[in-house]
Amino acid sequence: MIEIKSLPAGCAARRSETACETCGARAFSVCGSLGPADLAKLDALAEATAFAPGQPLAHEGDPADYLFNITSGSVRVYKLLSDGRRQITGFLFAGDFLGLASGDRHLFTAEAIEPSTACRFRRTAYQALVHDSPSLERALLDRARHELAAAQSQMLLLGRKTAHERLASFLLDLPSQDPLRPNAEGRVRLPMTRGEIADYLGLTIETVSRVLTKLKTQGVIRLLSLNELSLERPEQLRAMAEGEI
Amino acid sequence: MIEIKSLPAGCAARRSETACETCGARAFSVCGSLGPADLAKLDALAEATAFAPGQPLAHEGDPADYLFNITSGSVRVYKLLSDGRRQITGFLFAGDFLGLASGDRHLFTAEAIEPSTACRFRRTAYQALVHDSPSLERALLDRARHELAAAQSQMLLLGRKTAHERLASFLLDLPSQDPLRPNAEGRVRLPMTRGEIADYLGLTIETVSRVLTKLKTQGVIRLLSLNELSLERPEQLRAMAEGEI
DNA sequence: CGAGCAGTTGATTTTTATCAAGTAGCGTGG
DNA sequence: CCACGCTACTTGATAAAAATCAACTGCTCG
C-alpha cells in the first residue's frame, strides 16, 4: 500500500552540489530549476508517498498513471526477459525523476531498494501542467538529455568494457549520483546488493564478488562493510575504468 | 567539406507509416508533428548538407555548434575507448534527429555510412526557436522519450542477451527504423558493415558472421546479397529475440 | 589483372558463466 | 542471551560462450 502523507510534497529536493560524471554539467532535480510559481503549482498536484524495500513504484506494461520524483532512498529500474534474466537500466536517488521515458505505459519496472519516499504526480495532471509551463518543459528536456547521455555511456560499458572496467566505472559513477554518499573523501555507499550490481553491469553475482575481492587485494578499494567501501586509489580506478590498465 | 545546398531544407521528412518496435507508438520525425508556422521558421534557419561515406557530422568532445535532422542515407553514432574499442550507440536514418543528447559539446561521434543528406541547424538559433515554440519543445521531448526507451531496450540486449538473441533483435528492429527498407515483405536493408553491426551489438565481426550463417542454414533468414536479406520466419526470429528458443 | 578490403570459416584461447561448497551476518524465537 | 535458520556473499572447480588468431574466399576497383 502506498502511504500518502498530508503535506508537503517536497518535490523540490535539490542536489546541485554534485557534478555530473557523464556530461560535466551539474546535476539537478527536475524541480530544482523552477521558479516559485511553478513549484507551487507542482506541489498542488503532488502527493508524498513512501515505499518499503521491494515495493513497486511502477510495473512494466502497466498504464503509466503516475510519475514520481524521488525524494529519499534509492530505487532500481529494470527490464526482464521472459526467462527471468534481468537488466537494471538505472538506480534512482533523491532528486531523480521516474517516468521520463514512459508514454501511456511504463516500459520498465521500478522498485524501492531501501525504505524510500517519492513525490507522486498523476500523469494527466502533470502533462497539463507541463503543457502550460515552458520552464518545466525545458527542465524535463534537460533531464532527458542527461539521461540519454548516461544511457549511451552505459551502452559503451555493457558492450565493450571488461568486468574490471565495469566495476571501476560503477564505483566512480555511483557517488556522483547518490546525494547520500558518506561525506568522508572517497567513501561510497552501496545500498544495492551484489546481485543488483551484477544485473546493472551485465555480469553475475560471482564475477562482481571476485572483482571486488581483487580490487581489495590490489589496495584500490577498501571494504568498510558489505554496503560501504572507500576508494583508496581513485586515479588508478579511473585509469582502469577507461581501459588504460 | 560540407556541401550546402540552396534549398529547401526539407527537414519535414516524415516516416509516419512505420510503427515503433520499442514503444508501440508510431515513429515520427521531429518536424513531422509541427504545424506549418513552425515548419516555416525551422526551414528559415536550416541548411541542407550532404555527407560522403565516412564523413563526420559531429565529433565526440567538439563543441556542439550544429544539430542535424537526417533527411536521407544512414549515420553511425558511436563512442570510443582510448584503445580503440568502439560502441555504436545507434544508427540514424531519414527523419532521425542528431544531437538530442548533446549539451555544449557532443558526447559521441557521428559519421555518414552511405552518401547521406541532413538538415543542419546552428544550435544557438535552434535553441532560440525551441524556446519560442512549445509545440517544437514538446516534439523534442517526445523524441527524447522515444530514444530513452530504445536505449533501455539496447541495455537489456547488451547486458543480458546471447549473440543469437542480439542478431535476432537487430534484424527485427532495423526495418522499423529505416524508412528505405525494401518494400517487399520481410526484406531488410543492411547499409552497415558486419563490423558496424558487431560494434552495435557488443560482439565481434566473426561472431556476427557465424550467427548470420547459422540463421541462414536454419532457414530463418535468406541472404540476398551482402547488404540485403529477407526474413523467412519472422515469428521464429521474434521468439529467438526474446530468448524463448 | 592484381591489390585490397569485406566477409567467411576453422582452431584455439580467454573470459565469464555455471555449478558447487562453504562462510558471515542478521533477525527471530526459544 | 544464544541457537537457529535464512540470506547475502565469497571462493573454488568446471563448462560454455564468445573472442582471438589465422587462413582463405570473393568481390570491387584501379
For residue A35, pLDDT over 90 is answered with: no
Range ranked top by mean pLDDT from A157-161, A240-244, B136-140? A157-161
Closest chain A residue to B150, measured at CA = A101
Q: What local confidence, expressed as pLDDT, does residue A34 receive?
A: 57
**What CATH fold (topology level) applies to the domain B161-241?**
Arc Repressor Mutant, subunit A (1.10.10)
Mean of pLDDT values over A162-183: 92
Nearest Cα residue in chain A from B245: A83
> Among partner residues A151, A160, A244, which is closest to B151 by beta-carbon distance?
A151
- Strand C: which of residues 205-224 in chain A lie with Cβ below 7 A? 206-207
Average pLDDT over residues B6-31: 37
Q: Which CATH class is domain B3-146?
A: mainly beta
Domain ranges in chain B?
3-146, 161-241
pLDDT at A6: 32
Task: Report the gap between the CA of A149 and the closest CA in chain B (Å).
Answer: 6
pLDDT (mean) for B210-214: 98
- The spacing between the Cα labelled CA in A8 and the C1' in D18, in angstroms, equals 53
Residues of A in contact with B202 (CB under 8 A): 158-160
C-beta of residue B181 within 8 angstroms of C-beta of residue B94? no
Give CA–CA dist A86/A80, Å, rounded: 5
Counting Cβ atoms within 10 Å, is residue B41 exposed (0-12), middle (13-18) or buried (19+)? Answer: middle
Average pLDDT over chain A reads 85
Looking at domain A3-157, its CATH superfamily turns out to be Jelly Rolls (2.60.120.10)
C1' (D11) to CA (B162) span, angstroms: 27
> Is the distance between the Cβ of A213 and the closest atom of strand D smaller than 7 Å?
yes
Cα(B95)–Cα(B132) distance, rounded to whole angstroms? 22
- Amino acid at the residue B117: T
The set of cell numbers assigned to A49 is 508517498
- Across the range A65-71, mean pLDDT stands at 94
* All three cell numbers of B105: 559539446
- Which of A131, A158, A244 lies at the smallest CB-CB distance from B159? A158
Round to whole Å and give the CA distance between A208 and A201. Answer: 9
Q: Which one has a higher pLDDT value, B236 or B15? A: B236
- Cβ of B144 within 8 Å of Cβ of A149? The answer is no
Give the sheet arrangement for strand A74-80, strand by strand.
Answer: A56-58, A109-112, A74-80, A86-93
Does position A15 have pLDDT exceeding 80, yes or no? Answer: no
> b/e for B104-122, b at 16 or more Cβ within 10 A?
eebbbbbbbbeebbbbbbe
For residue B34, the model assigns a pLDDT of 57
Does residue A182 have a cis bond before it (omega within 30 degrees)? no
Nearest nucleotide by C1' position to the A209 CA atom:
D10
Q: What pLDDT digit, counting tens, does each position of B122-176 carry?
A: 999 888 888 888 888 888 899 999 999 999 999 999 999 999 999 999 999 999 9
Question: What is the tens place of the pLDDT at every residue in A83-139?
Answer: 999 999 999 999 999 999 899 999 999 999 999 999 999 999 888 888 888 888 888
Of B77-81, B178-182, B216-220, the least confident? B178-182
Greater model confidence, B12 or B208: B208
- Say how far apart CA B17 and CA A175 lie, in whole Å: 44
What span, in angstroms and rounded, lies between the C-alpha atoms of B165 and B172? 11
Beta-bridged to residue B119, according to DSSP, are: B48, B69
CA B152 – C1' D13 distance (Å)?
A: 36
Which pLDDT score is estimated for A21? 33
Question: In A6-115, at which residue ranges do the beta strands (DSSP E only) sit?
Answer: 46-51, 56-58, 66-72, 74-80, 86-93, 97-98, 109-112
Position A185 scores a pLDDT of 80
Q: Which three cell numbers stand for residue B198?
A: 558487431
Please state, in angstroms and rounded to a whole number, the distance separating the CA atoms of residues B197 and B202.
Answer: 8
State the greatest distance between any 2 C-alpha atoms of chain B, in Å, as a whole number.
56
Given a cut of 60, is residue B6 above it in pLDDT?
A: no
> Inter-chain contact A242–B81, Cβ cutoff 8 Å?
yes
Percentage of chain B modeled with pLDDT above 70: 84
CA of A53 to C1' of C29 (A): 24
Gap from A204 CA to chain B (nearest CA, Å)? 10
pLDDT per residue as tens digits for the range B41-56: 777 788 999 999 999 9
Q: Which of A19-23, A162-166, B100-104 has the lowest mean pLDDT?
A: A19-23
Residues of B in contact with A100 (CB under 8 A): 144-145, 148
Nucleotide nearest to A225 (CA to C1'): C25
Chain D bases near protein Cβ (<7 Å):
8-13, 17-22
**B207 sits within 7 Å of strand D by its CB:** yes
- More confident position, A42 or B98: B98
